[in-house]
């Protein structure tokens, strides 16, 4: 990640287009494959007992989890009981461009197959909203929708492409957001298609 990456502001969100080169994207996908071998992706249950269309796993100390009892962070894989593997250095380097005070302790890995989406939500289960949530997109483009802190606030959308990084921080840290749809099969990065999204965050107090 030697190259300079300009950060632009799209609908109040800091977006670093092409933060990862093609070679870095391929290297990161290889790291994610190794992570998926020891921490297999799973589909958490929503509050109303339906599995999410996105498959998730994680690296770092924490993984986000959801079942009928609600949302929380867990420190052991729900099926294997093992801790999650370390966060890949390439992902840590992206985080550092946005937040240099503390390292992230959670890298959530979301996989979107054909037709998968993520409903409008807030990320608010972390201890300190002074730290950002940093996202990295890989594979097929995803249509990112962002609104306000209030669920009923108006929303706007833009496409996140493979290699893009962005951060929700300061006034957008608690904004509602989601992924409406992906352009399945548009990117050649993942042989079977789909979109991977990494979200790096600081769950525990610094």
Binding site for Fe ion (CB under 5 A): 123
Q: Which is nearer to ligand MD6, 13 or 39 (CB)?
A: 13
Q: Is 203 in the site for ligand MD6 (CB under 6 A)?
A: no
User: 135 - beta bridge partners?
Assistant: 166, 199
Q: What six digits make up the tokens of 184?
A: 């399945």
Q: Which of 179, 189, 190, 203 binds ligand MD6 (CB under 6 A)?
A: 179
Q: Which helix (H) or strand (E) holds 85?
A: none
State the binding partner of 25 from Fe ion, ligand MD6, none, CB within 5 to 8 A by kind: none
Minimum Å distance from CB 181 to ligand MD6? 11
Contact in structure between 133 and 117 (CB atoms under 8 Å): no
Give dist(CA 59, CA 140) in Å, integer. Answer: 22
Q: Quick check: 94 binds ligand MD6 (CB under 6 A)?
A: no
CA separation (Å) from 108 to 59, 61, 120, 156, 200? 7, 10, 17, 24, 6
| Binding of ligand MD6 by 199 (CB under 6 A) | yes
Is 80 or 162 the residue whose CB approaches ligand MD6 more closely? Answer: 162
- Under the binding rule (CB under 6 A), the answer on residue 116 touching ligand MD6 is no
Using the rule CB under 6 A, which residue among 20, 35, 98, 135 binds ligand MD6? Answer: 135
Question: Which backbone phi and psi does 121 adopt, to 5 degrees?
Answer: -150, 170
From CA 110, how far away is CA 93, in angstroms rounded?
A: 19
Q: 99, 105, 123, 161: which one contacts ligand MD6 (CB under 6 A)?
A: 123
Bridge partners (DSSP) of residue 200 are 107, 134
Is residue 187 a contact residue for ligand MD6 (CB under 6 A)? no
Residue ranges binding ligand MD6 (CB under 6 A): 110, 118, 123, 133, 135, 142, 144, 168, 177, 179, 197, 199
């Amino acid at each position: 990640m030697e190259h300079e990456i300009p950060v632009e502001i799209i609908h109040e969100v800091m977006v670093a287009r092409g933060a990862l080169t093609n070679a870095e994207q391929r290297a990161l996908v290889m790291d994610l494959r190794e992570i998926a071998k020891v921490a297999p992706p799973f589909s958490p249950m929503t509050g109303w007992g339906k599995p999410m269309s996105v498959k998730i796993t994680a690296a770092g100390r924490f993984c986000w989890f959801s079942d009928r009892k609600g949302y929380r962070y867990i420190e052991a894989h729900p099926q294997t009981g093992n801790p999650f593997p370390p966060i890949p250095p390439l992902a840590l380097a992206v985080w550092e461009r946005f937040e240099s005070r503390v390292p992230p302790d959670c890298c959530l890995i979301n996989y979107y197959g054909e037709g998968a989406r993520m409903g409008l939500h807030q990320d608010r289960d972390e201890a300190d909203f002074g730290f950002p949530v940093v996202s990295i997109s890989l594979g097929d483009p995803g249509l990112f929708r962002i609104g306000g802190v209030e669920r009923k606030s108006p929303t706007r959308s833009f496409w996140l492409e493979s290699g893009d990084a962005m951060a929700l921080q300061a006034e957008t840290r608690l904004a509602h957001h989601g992924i409406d749809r992906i352009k399945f099969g548009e990117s050649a990065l993942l042989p079977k298609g789909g979109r991977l999204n990494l979200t790096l965050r600081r769950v525990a107090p610094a």
